[in-house]
Copies of this chain bind each other. A is one copy, B any other.
Amino acid sequence: MFYQTIDILGTVAFALSGVLVAMEKRLDMFGVLIIAFVTAIGGGTLRDLLIGNTPVVWMRDLTYVSTIFITVVFGILFVKQLKYLRKSLFLFDTIGIGLYTMVGIEKGLQAELSPIMCIALGTITASFGGVIRDILCNEIPVIFRKEIYATACILGGASYFLFTQFPIQESYAYVLAITIVIVLRLLAVKFDIRLPSIYRKKLD
């Protein structure tokens, strides 16, 4: 129940971030819908494809599609109010990536992959929706340029495997890891911490 609520809030936040980007690009309504859609389910879709978990999850469970559809309709109707929701949106989004990271890790464990691959799957689940959104909108993906985003997923995911080495309940490790992803992202945004960019002039 708690799990599902957060999952839906995460989906809503991801979909709304897609709506906002798509509108800035002056897309039509179908474009806005698709961008919202791929932002919300793109990461999970790529994860499912890579491990061969098909039909991919949103094709088997209508919750995602209906949540996204309703979100887009509301997003279009109340576009002016969205800016007042910016802080809540950011919070949902951050909770969303924490949860999506652990969802991806669980799928990796079910497929009997090594911890490093599980962390990779968690990071892909949480962050590649945004990558596909940016590619479709003809931008270099924002997470490659300036945001601590995937890094929080990687560190949080690694912490999960660290915690499971200790004699604590798995569900604690689970919640702790999600919390670490969320806290890292909040701190990074609050203190404007960025990964260094390694610029280099064209060699020749």
Contact = CB atoms under 8 A, between A and B. Distances in A.
Nearest to A150: B30
**How many copies of this chain?**
3
Given A28-B196, A117-B59, A136-B144, A51 B50 contact: no
A51 B54 CA distance: 5
A184 to B, nearest CB: 13
A82 interface: yes
A146 B31 CA distance: 9
Interface of A: 20, 22-32, 34-35, 45, 49-52, 54-56, 59-60, 62, 65, 76, 79, 82-83, 86, 111, 113-114, 116-117, 120-121, 131, 135-141, 143-146, 150-151, 194-200, 202-204
Given A30-B150, A52-B55, A83-B204, 15 more contacts: A25-B140, A26-B145, A27-B145, A27-B198, A28-B198, A31-B141, A31-B144, A35-B144, A45-B50, A49-B49, A49-B50, A51-B59, A59-B117, A65-B116, A138-B138
